[in-house]
């Protein structure tokens, strides 16, 4: 009963109890080297706000993440932040990684790009400079074929009629479309340039596709791509990558086989291999079994199936998570599925936990779910939660992204969030409201 009480405790309330005791000063740096201010009074305030942030993380987050990401998968409280397979804004990615590391995520999933991986790891280490939290696994995402997650929108702004009301700009959830860039206040956070261009800011576009149908002049094109397997195999051998996710339709097993074969021995460097697939109805389980048979001879790590409900839609609203819940119910009932953890994604948001609880799937073991004495043995050989956890993408980026946008409009597009404590506290509050319920904070 005590556990049930803590699981239903409102994280926002607990956060406020801890955080509102100390007023937040206007601005200071939380980094070990940068807690500077101009007056002794301000320095005292700065120190108490830093202590306040540390006490929140120490009290709420650390107890729940004292064990490994693998343990979270077993318990069913694994949380993954999806930065986006195509999202390459390295400043945002670093800040998001910092905030969600402090909030206790188990894994951060990002594009299979060297600069992006470095940004994720910099964010993680910056968080660990503030409070000694456990390092989340870093996962890179690749694809075996054309896939919604691996595309960019593109158009030539010179071709746009001057009187167009620019619905593309309004509908974009990533602030990836801009006109008159130099006056818009949005930054193009790439390593190469900080100059904003008109049109699609390629690094920020993550391929959601929402701009494509709204253009009344049909000016916007989608450009799809497949990550190169050989480059990916080299990247995996870096010592700051722990996991890989293969996005597949599940219908082209020859392409999956080609990719797996091209990755070769590099998969031996990983702790976890995930396969992200859509719900293929009756053929889903047979596709999963076939893909597992391809991976098995060379699989030296744990494996996970990402159930991709409604891709890149979690920020749209409450109903977006329904498809991922339905997918989980379908897989939970299937007895012939291959080994591997199950994790939800695609439309996941603040309503996902509620949906899982309604279906009796939140942190439930297979024996509890099926009322069955048959033992549930996963790839590690232990009974575990039927649903290992949840990955949050668009929704997670939206709630913290709002804070990042405010900070950038005040302090510039390259601002590091640890240098602006009031924003870090706001962002951490948002992140904890999402991560906390999964971790039963």
**Which one among 99, 107, 176, 229 touches ligand SF4, defined by CB under 6 A?**
176
Q: How far is the CB of 199 from ligand SF4 (least distance, A)?
A: 8
With left for phi above 0 and alpha for psi between -120 and 50, is residue 378 left, alpha or beta?
beta
Rounded CA-CA distance 361/357 in Å is 6
83 part of the interface to ligand SF4, by CB under 6 A = no
Q: How far is the CB of 400 from ligand SF4 (least distance, A)?
A: 17
Q: Strand pairing partners for 215?
A: none
85 part of the interface to ligand SF4, by CB under 6 A = no
CA distances from 95 to 281, 288, 360, 420 (A): 38, 35, 35, 11
**Which one among 135, 219, 221, 357 touches ligand SF4, defined by CB under 6 A?**
219
Are 216 and 164 spatial neighbours (Cβ–Cβ below 8 Å)? yes
E strand intervals along 339-405: 341-345, 389-392
385 part of the interface to ligand SF4, by CB under 6 A = no
208 part of the interface to ligand SF4, by CB under 6 A = yes
Collapsing DSSP states into helix, strand and coil, what is residue 139?
strand
Which residue, 85 or 200, is less far from ligand SF4 as judged by CB?
A: 200
Interface residues for ligand SF4 in 7-26 (CB under 6 A)? none
Number of residues interacting with ligand SF4: please give it, by CB under 6 A.
24
Which tokens is 104 given? 């206790």
Query: How many other CB atoms sit within 10 Å of the CB of residue 138?
Result: 20
342 part of the interface to ligand SF4, by CB under 6 A = no
Q: How far is the CB of 173 from ligand SF4 (least distance, A)?
A: 6
Interface residues for ligand SF4 in 147-166 (CB under 6 A)? 153, 155, 160, 164, 166
Interface residues for ligand SF4 in 177-206 (CB under 6 A)? 177, 200, 205-206
Q: How far is the CB of 215 from ligand SF4 (least distance, A)?
A: 3
Rounded CA-CA distance 246/214 in Å is 30
82 part of the interface to ligand SF4, by CB under 6 A = no
Interface residues for ligand SF4 in 220-259 (CB under 6 A)? 220
Are 396 and 81 spatial neighbours (Cβ–Cβ below 8 Å)? yes
Rounded CA-CA distance 222/212 in Å is 8
**Which one among 217, 230, 318, 333 touches ligand SF4, defined by CB under 6 A?**
217
Q: Strand pairing partners for 178?
A: 199
Chain residues binding ligand SF4 by CB under 6 A are: 153, 155, 160, 164, 166-168, 171-172, 174, 176-177, 200, 205-211, 215, 217, 219-220
């Amino acid at each position: 009963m005590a556990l049930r009480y803590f699981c239903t405790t409102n994280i926002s309330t607990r956060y406020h109890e801890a955080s509102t005791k100390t007023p937040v000063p206007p601005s200071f740096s939380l980094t070990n080297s940068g807690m500077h201010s101009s007056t002794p009074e301000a320095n005292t305030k700065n120190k108490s706000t830093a202590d306040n942030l540390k006490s929140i993380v120490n009290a709420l987050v650390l107890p729940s993440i004292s064990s490994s990401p693998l343990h979270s998968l077993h318990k069913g409280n694994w949380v993954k932040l999806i930065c986006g397979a195509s999202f390459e804004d390295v400043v945002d990615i670093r800040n998001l990684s910092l905030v969600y590391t402090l909030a206790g995520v188990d894994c951060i999933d990002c594009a299979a790009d060297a600069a992006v991986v470095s940004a994720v790891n910099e964010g993680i280490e910056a968080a660990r400079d503030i409070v000694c939290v456990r390092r989340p696994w870093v996962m890179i995402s690749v694809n075996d074929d054309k896939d919604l997650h691996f595309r960019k929108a593109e158009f030539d702004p010179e071709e746009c009629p001057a009187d167009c009301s620019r619905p593309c700009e309004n509908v974009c959830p990533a602030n990836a479309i801009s006109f008159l860039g130099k006056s818009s206040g949005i930054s193009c956070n790439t390593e190469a340039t900080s100059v904003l261009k008109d049109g699609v800011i390629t690094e920020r576009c993550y391929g959601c596709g929402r701009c494509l149908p709204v253009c009344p002049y049909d000016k916007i094109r989608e450009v799809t791509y497949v990550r190169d397997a050989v480059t990916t195999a080299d990247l995996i051998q870096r010592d700051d990558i722990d996991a890989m996710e293969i996005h597949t339709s599940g219908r082209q097993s020859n392409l999956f086989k080609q990719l797996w074969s091209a990755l070769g021995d590099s998969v031996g460097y990983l702790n976890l291999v995930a396969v992200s697939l859509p719900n293929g109805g009756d053929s889903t389980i047979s596709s999963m079994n076939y893909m597992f048979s391809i991976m098995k001879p060379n699989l030296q790590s744990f494996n996970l199936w990402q159930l991709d409900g409604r891709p890149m839609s979690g920020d749209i609203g409450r109903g977006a998570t329904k498809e991922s819940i339905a997918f989980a119910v379908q897989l939970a009932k299937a007895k012939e599925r291959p080994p591997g953890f199950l994790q939800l994604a695609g439309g996941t948001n603040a309503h996902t936990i509620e949906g899982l609880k309604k279906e009796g799937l939140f942190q439930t073991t297979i024996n509890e779910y099926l009322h069955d004495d048959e033992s549930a043995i996963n790839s590690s050989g232990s009974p575990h939660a039927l649903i290992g956890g949840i990955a949050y993408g668009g929704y997670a980026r939206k709630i913290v992204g709002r804070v990042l946008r405010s900070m950038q409009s005040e302090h510039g597009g390259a601002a590091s969030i640890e240098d602006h404590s009031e924003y870090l506290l706001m962002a951490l509050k948002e992140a904890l409201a999402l991560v906390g319920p999964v971790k039963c904070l």
